[in-house]
Structure 1
Amino acid sequence: MTANRTADTALGIERSILGQPWRWRATSADMGSDTLAPDDLVTQLLLARGVTRDELDRHRSPTLRGFMPDPSIFRDMDAAAARIADAVEAKEAITIFGDYDVDGATSAALLVRLLRALDVPVGAYIPDRLMEGYGPSGAALVKIGEAGSRLVVTVDCGAQAFDAIAEAKAAGVEVIIVDHHQCATTLPQALAVVNPNRLDEAPDAAGHGNLAAVGVAFLLGAALLRTLRARGFFSRRAEPALIDLLDLVALGTVADVAQLTGFNRALVTQGLKIMARRGNIGLSALMDAARLTKPPSASDMGFALGPRINAGGRVGKSDLGVRLLTTSDPQEAADIAAELNRLNEERRAIEAAVLDEALAASAACANAPVALVSGAGWHPGVIGIVAGRLKEKLHRPAIVIAVDEEGVGKGSGRSISGVDLGAAILAAKESGLLVAGGGHAMAAGLTVDAAKLDALGAFLNERLARDVERASGEKSLLIDAVLAPRGISPDWCAAIESAGPYGAGWPAPRVATGPVRIIESGVVGTDHLRLIVAGEDGGRFKAIAFRSAESELGQTLLHTRGNRKLWLAGRAKRDDWGSRPAAELHLEDAAWAD
């Protein structure tokens, strides 16, 4: 059932076990309860996520036709498409230079597959994380040119590669930059810089600043095909179906935690349909390795497929992801998928060790707005994941820096909503505190001299203190609906699926349920709290709080005994592990009901 939204406070809870108020995601005024049918759950969810009434139909079934912008609104897009079209017609060799994460791998794979379909000699270059670091280097670009490719397209990197692009230009190598990271006031001397986060973008293009790099690459692909079509290129041959590459776009978008609103939501919605067909041999092999037997969801991309592709760049060979996503050989695909699966297990072990040390080190900055920790010998391939874990536990921006034997620190940061970490890192670079750095609002990377770590911490704390305080002060748990305990069911999970896909910026519905009593409690896996609870209506279900057994919430619930009653809040998820479908609550908070 959906609760009455006449008050902002949900269930009267002003302070939960985690010390936060529970608020309705939308009030009765937002929901238009006087005209809204009470059983139209999807409409309620869409309105609660900011969709206006006249936009409901478009958002109910997001399509490319309904959301895709004209690629030409982006600066340099037409120039980039024209130059690549020239190369296509001349069958000129092109190299796609990608980042080593999922967004970089999918962006590179998309352009490689598209250009192969156009019979262009194309290759991919992915730098080694440990030996070469992030982004293009002048040496790498010159080497690519000497090998015969005088046109390089960088994807998911390049926005800050001033020296490298200048060196390539001097050597006669043309570079097109396709990126989404924040730009400085000046741009590299590339042939074209296609990036919705350019500071000189017009408002209609800048409005797509939440695109992952793979989304920008998809638009470049559309612009390229349009250019070739206008030149009559397809009068003598079939035009590649760009839509068939949407599985790559969906994977990169979700894995890069891009906001699943507007055009991104359409890309992922349609991409999931393409992925379900298993037309990409490499992706199909990876789904088999991850034991995904049903059509994948956005959650599967974020937690099963993405981490495995990332594992190659983090602790293995950086080009494994691109090779997997572009191969046409089933045996090669199976072999690479198995290797990525093995590397992902190795990554988990390394991550756990670094996380333990990072948590211990964070005690020294317990009261700082930004948790900046560093350690000698930490594996740079896992620092981004550890930064994310640290942010989740500390509820503030976190930066984790691995310092090598030469005193050079490679860092990765993750932020909280309302705190633009990428802009702060760019400002630190411009202030001379960093060797290199950049990113976007929620994530950033950097290179720093270990001697400047204290100064960097002071700079970031001073710059972000007010934003962190404001974001923390506004923290509350937003509730979409209240369900009776019996309502935590597979039917509820099925009913809300059509309002998805869910992810960053388009959160899955959060429900409150209760009052319930804890029947069983315990710790499972790595720091996961597991509960069996029962309600007064006879409803009984499982709840699990991931990585929370040692937290205040976990310890409180583990030691709750007797008939004390609780309200629980979290996301209801379908559980297909048993002999028949069930539902469980992924617990985020709790409050006393007595």
Structure 2
Amino acid sequence: MSPVLGVTRSILGQPWRWRALAADARDGFGGDDLVTQLLLSRGALRETLDQHRAPSIRGFMPDPSIFRDMDRAADRLADAVQAGESVAVFGDYDVDGATSAALMILVLRDLGIEARPYIPDRLLEGYGPSGEALVRLAAEGASLIVTVDCGAQAFEALAMAHAAPVDVIVVDHHKCAASLPVAHALVNPNRLDETDGAAHGHLAAVGVCFLLAAALVRTLRARGYFAARTEPRLIDLLDIVALGTVADVAQLRGLNRAFVSQGLKVMAQRRNIGLAALIEASRLTRAPTATDLGFALGPRINAGGRVGRADLGVRLLTTRDPVEAGVIAAELDRLNDERRQIEGDVQQQAEAMAAGDRRIAVVAGRGWHPGVIGIVAGRLKEKSGRPAIVIAVDEHGVGKGSGRSIPGIDLGGAVLAAKDHGLLVAGGGHAMAAGLTIAADDIPAFADFLECRLAEAVDVARGDRALLLDAVLAPGGVNPALVESLEVGGPYGMGWPSPRIAAGPVRVVKADIVGNGHVRAVVAGDDGRSLKAMAFRSAETPLGQALLGAAPHRKLWLAGRAKIDDWSSRPAAELHLDDAAWAE
């Protein structure tokens, strides 16, 4: 495969190539419009182009009954609704957990049940259901507990709940072991014994909860429950589903794309009081995009579980009171600023420790705040191009770790294997992210285990790394009309990448550093037309240094994502850079 524009080694040291599927089929759709090419190059089949061009819930949603235990879970929930039982919803403290819990609470509320939320404290209780918490909920009157975004590995806790006794329904998406914990029902597309439902293993937990809600409503409809009351409008909850899906970095393929596409439409109407307050606190004056879910709204929900009160996200998403919503949203915004400061301190230390030639970066520090280690792991992964695990060790010598992976490396599976080898107190996750608890003395052996298990696969994954492009344009072609046309192929995210274009050749007219190490540049093409480019967090990288130090006569090709410049006084586009290459 020949490199695009002859770039075999860019400023960041990588070749430029056409997006793989597009390159393989280029002769087959060279005459197609740009959006069709984008869809085909991301795996859509020609016969499904219309379905992918306008992804709908009807077009992608499976029959919920294909999942193991789904009907059993729906029947038990329907029994609880009809009997007016006391139900508790036990969630996780991240965005997927908060949105999953909120969705179940709102659905049950519409069905006449005011479920009690329970979100564990990250620092005091850790991840997942504890037996003590489940038994306490039962003692306080709950006859049914639904765990969301957690529970697939909670063997001891669920055994204690079973002995209490209290019925527990587990709704999760994390990797499962060969054996399953005891539960009334365990709905998880990543169960090892899952068959038809395994095709939906990319769903976030909130997506699985939506399917359970659909199964519940269908069950109650069959029982005649809605003869005297209105059915819940599940479509109105898609804003919450979209937020959890994007924030959990789930693959935006199939049903997930439909969730996000339709959820953004619901969110634009600002029906959810809490989300409307959060949008205002995030200073978004337009309808949110998928990018906003991941970088503006999601981090603020997360801030509650990371450095504040764990239940703030669920309270925000389920409140009926606009005043309370405004107060919580403002508090989450403040906590997000606090989180940024803590994160910066930990990141600086972690980056210094991560220097070296290991394929898996495993770093640990005493006193690090466990609420920011996942974000720091993501930053390390982005900078180094290798999986990273960051571990915060407390005063008792217990480490809480969070990891982020690169495409092609199943980090969650490796963490489960380390647990099976006795190296971890607890651990689990999915391909791209994992969490763990470990004794500080075992961290070196754990790092060696991961290196031995994954080093070869990481070398292959990194060796195949190339910057994939969808189009090459003159600088003047990067304009609002282009951005608008590209958005038709969205929503974009993990597994459905945002279009990347190359623009040039250009010379740098001026460049400076703004904000937290971002490089802003104004470039001009041979026709004199100028373009604004942004290279985020790049001031100390080869890309940032090239822009800042480019001689006036040297020309560059720029590669990145075309975006609307929100700060411009008139409609304008800018290029968010991923890389650059010298034109000569």
Question: Could you state the TM-score of these two structures normalised by the residue count of structure 2?
Answer: 0.99
Tell me if the contact between 2:21 and 2:43 (Cα under 8 Å) persists in the aligned partners.
no
Q: C-alpha displacement at 1:36, in angstroms?
A: 5.6
Alignment partner, residue 18 of structure 1: 12
1:482 aligns with 2:442: no
Q: CA deviation digits over 1:258-288, x for unaligned, max 9? A: 0001010011111111111100000000000
Q: CA deviation digits over 1:215-260, x for unaligned, max 9? A: 0000000000000001111111111111110000000000000000
1:70 aligns with 2:79: no
What's the secondary structure of 1:11's corresponding residue? helix
1:226 aligns with 2:218: yes
1:581 aligns with 2:571: yes
What's the secondary structure of 1:378's corresponding residue? coil
Q: CA deviation digits over 1:562-589, x for unaligned, max 9? A: 3011111000101131210111110011
Letter in 2 for 1:182: K
Letter in 1 for 2:498: A
Alignment partner, residue 162 of structure 1: 155
Alignment RMSD (CA, Å): 1.1
Alignment partner, residue 93 of structure 2: 100
Alignment partner, residue 262 of structure 1: 254
Alignment partner, residue 298 of structure 2: 306
Separation in structure 2 between the aligned mates of residue 180 and residue 106 of structure 1, nearest angstrom = 14
Separation in structure 1 between the aligned mates of residue 22 and residue 371 of structure 2, nearest angstrom = 47
Separation in structure 2 between the aligned mates of residue 234 and residue 539 of structure 1, nearest angstrom = 62
Separation in structure 1 between the aligned mates of residue 506 and residue 485 of structure 2, nearest angstrom = 23
Alignment partner, residue 177 of structure 2: 184
Question: Could you state the TM-score of these two structures normalised by the residue count of structure 1?
Answer: 0.97
Match for residue 333 of structure 2 among 335, 338, 341: 341
Tell me if the contact between 2:251 and 2:495 (Cα under 8 Å) persists in the aligned partners.
yes
Match for residue 494 of structure 2 among 496, 499, 504: 504
Q: CA deviation digits over 1:113-166, x for unaligned, max 9? A: 000111113110000000000000000000100110021000000011000000
Letter in 1 for 2:218: R
Q: C-alpha displacement at 1:79, in angstroms?
A: 0.2
Tell me if the contact between 1:278 and 1:284 (Cα under 8 Å) persists in the aligned partners.
yes
* Count of residues paired in the alignment: 584
Alignment partner, residue 138 of structure 2: 145
Alignment partner, residue 4 of structure 1: none
What's the secondary structure of 2:170's corresponding residue? strand
Aligned CA distance change for structure 1 residues 27 and 89 (closer, same or farther; 3 Å): closer
Alignment partner, residue 122 of structure 2: 129
Aligned CA distance change for structure 1 residues 150 and 35 (closer, same or farther; 3 Å): closer
Separation in structure 2 between the aligned mates of residue 369 and residue 87 of structure 1, nearest angstrom = 50
1:528 aligns with 2:522: no
1:358 aligns with 2:357: no
Separation in structure 2 between the aligned mates of residue 27 and residue 168 of structure 1, nearest angstrom = 49
Match for residue 387 of structure 1 among 373, 377, 390: 377
Separation in structure 2 between the aligned mates of residue 117 and residue 270 of structure 1, nearest angstrom = 21
Separation in structure 1 between the aligned mates of residue 273 and residue 26 of structure 2, nearest angstrom = 47
Match for residue 369 of structure 1 among 355, 359, 363: 359
What's the secondary structure of 2:488's corresponding residue? helix
Alignment partner, residue 113 of structure 2: 120
Tell me if the contact between 2:22 and 2:37 (Cα under 8 Å) persists in the aligned partners.
no
What's the secondary structure of 1:506's corresponding residue? coil
Q: CA deviation digits over 1:81-139, x for unaligned, max 9? A: 00000000000011000000000000000000000111113110000000000000000
Separation in structure 2 between the aligned mates of residue 359 and residue 55 of structure 1, nearest angstrom = 44
Tell me if the contact between 2:105 and 2:114 (Cα under 8 Å) persists in the aligned partners.
no
Match for residue 78 of structure 2 among 85, 105, 113: 85
Alignment partner, residue 3 of structure 2: 9
Separation in structure 1 between the aligned mates of residue 207 and residue 576 of structure 2, nearest angstrom = 30
Tell me if the contact between 2:22 and 2:40 (Cα under 8 Å) persists in the aligned partners.
no
User: Which residues of 2 match residues 406-421 of structure 1 at below 5 A?
Assistant: 406-421=396-411
Tell me if the contact between 1:30 and 1:47 (Cα under 8 Å) persists in the aligned partners.
no
Letter in 1 for 2:522: I
Separation in structure 2 between the aligned mates of residue 166 and residue 130 of structure 1, nearest angstrom = 24
Alignment partner, residue 53 of structure 1: 46
Q: CA deviation digits over 1:157-210, x for unaligned, max 9? A: 0011000000111111111100000000000101111000000000x2101000
Separation in structure 1 between the aligned mates of residue 272 and residue 543 of structure 2, nearest angstrom = 42
What's the secondary structure of 2:553's corresponding residue? coil
Aligned CA distance change for structure 1 residues 45 and 149 (closer, same or farther; 3 Å): same
Separation in structure 2 between the aligned mates of residue 401 and residue 57 of structure 1, nearest angstrom = 45
Letter in 1 for 2:150: C
Letter in 1 for 2:453: R
Separation in structure 2 between the aligned mates of residue 240 and residue 71 of structure 1, nearest angstrom = 17
What's the secondary structure of 1:217's corresponding residue? helix
Alignment partner, residue 389 of structure 2: 399
Letter in 2 for 1:138: G
Q: C-alpha displacement at 1:212, in angstroms?
A: 0.1
Q: C-alpha displacement at 1:539, in angstroms?
A: 2.0
Q: C-alpha displacement at 1:466, in angstroms?
A: 1.0
What's the secondary structure of 2:335's corresponding residue? helix
Match for residue 198 of structure 2 among 206, 210, 220: 206
Tell me if the contact between 1:249 and 1:271 (Cα under 8 Å) persists in the aligned partners.
yes
Separation in structure 1 between the aligned mates of residue 21 and residue 73 of structure 2, nearest angstrom = 46
Letter in 2 for 1:439: G
Letter in 1 for 2:331: E
Q: C-alpha displacement at 1:451, in angstroms?
A: 0.5
Q: CA deviation digits over 1:441-469, x for unaligned, max 9? A: 00000000000010000000000001100
Aligned CA distance change for structure 1 residues 390 and 522 (closer, same or farther; 3 Å): same
User: Which residues of 2 match residues 428-443 of structure 1 at below 5 A?
Assistant: 428-443=418-433
**Which segment drifts farther, 326-335 or 531-540?**
531-540
Q: C-alpha displacement at 1:557, in angstroms?
A: 2.5
Separation in structure 2 between the aligned mates of residue 434 and residue 55 of structure 1, nearest angstrom = 45
Alignment partner, residue 296 of structure 1: 288
Tell me if the contact between 1:26 and 1:480 (Cα under 8 Å) persists in the aligned partners.
no
Separation in structure 1 between the aligned mates of residue 186 and residue 198 of structure 2, nearest angstrom = 14
